[in-house]
Structure 1
Amino acid sequence: MADSSKGKGIERVLWWRLPCILNEAVSLHNVGLEIRDITSRLSKIAASMRDYGIKEAMEGDAKSST
Structure 2
Amino acid sequence: MDVEYTDRAAISDYAGGDIDVLQSLGIMTGKEDGRFDPQASLTGVQMAKVLSGMLKKAKFM
Q: TM > 0.5 between the two?
A: no
Bigger helix share: 1
Q: Which has the larger radius of gyration?
A: 1
